[in-house]
Amino acid sequence: MPKPPITPFPALACPLDGGALQRHGTSWRCAAGHSFDIASQGYTHLLPVQNKRSRDPGDSKEMIAARRRFLEAGVYQPIADAVAEATLAGLAPGATASCLDAGCGEGYYLRQLAAAATRRGHALALLGLDISKWAVLAAAKQDRHTQWVVGSNANLPVLPGTLDRVLCMFGFPVYPEFARVLKPGGLLLKVDAGPDHLRELREIIYPSLKPERPAAPTAPAGFTALPPGEPMRHTLSLSSPAQIADLLVMTPHLYRASAEGRARAAALESLSLTVDVRLTRFERKPGR
């Protein structure tokens, strides 16, 4: 019987003591007796209360809903396609590769990756992690083939050396943790905004733009930098105030902009934008 192409990631770790979690019915348990319930929607909360910096950390319910509407319209499809291509490249045929999206949001990029893997006959064990319970809830409602957990990049609930790929999409990388959970030779794929990303929107909402910081010249500890791909650039046309509002709500610019800047954005009927992102690849070095 052939393997199913997409399966939940099995190598979860207890966020309290790091021990392996085993599934028992509707919960995950470690050998020390710590137990974590699986919600009816299919996700698991693996963020201990002592590791929270607020009562409801991460993106809000409103931000997640805006991101889902915006991304499902397909406007970032070229980014999703490039990430899927880079993720699947070099995987051994016939083997099941494990992949974590560290900061998965409502799961758009993992769903696109799963679709690309299925078309190409790759088997993947997928884990989506986000600190926002609203993000993970939205993701779990749309996809039961992936393991979804509420957790933190600062303390990934993943056993050491169990992942082939880690994705960090516009997120907050914690390189020592990424190095810990990746297998030697595994890849970290990091997507960040380029200097012109959403420049037209930023010029409207801010009085002036800050100079861009130069990219870090060296790979993080434990990693080797691979040759960079071509920058991903395309023009995006937003044709309604609702789409512009969703874009603003799903980005940090909503909170960074002044009331006057937000008002200028709210008055727009349409907007042409530059999408400019960089995909960086790092390979996990052998050994510790």
> What are the backbone angles phi and psi of residue 17, rounded to the nearest 5°?
-130, 0
pTM over 0.85: yes
Report how far residue 68's alpha carbon sits from residue 172's, in angstroms, rounded to the nearest whole number: 20
Q: 154-165: b or e for each residue (b if 16 or more CB lie within 10 Å)?
A: ebbbbbeebbbb
> What are the backbone angles phi and psi of residue 35, rounded to the nearest 5°?
-130, 140
Neighbours of 249 (CB within 10 A): 19
Full pLDDT tens readout for the chain, 288 residues: 455 689 999 999 999 999 999 999 999 999 999 999 999 999 999 998 755 555 666 788 999 999 999 999 999 999 999 999 999 999 988 899 999 999 999 999 999 999 999 999 999 999 999 999 999 999 999 999 999 999 999 999 999 999 999 999 998 999 999 999 999 999 999 999 999 999 999 999 988 887 776 555 578 999 999 988 778 999 999 999 999 999 988 888 877 888 898 899 989 999 999 999 999 999 999 976
Please, are residues 183 and 97 in contact by the beta-carbon 8 Å criterion?
Answer: no
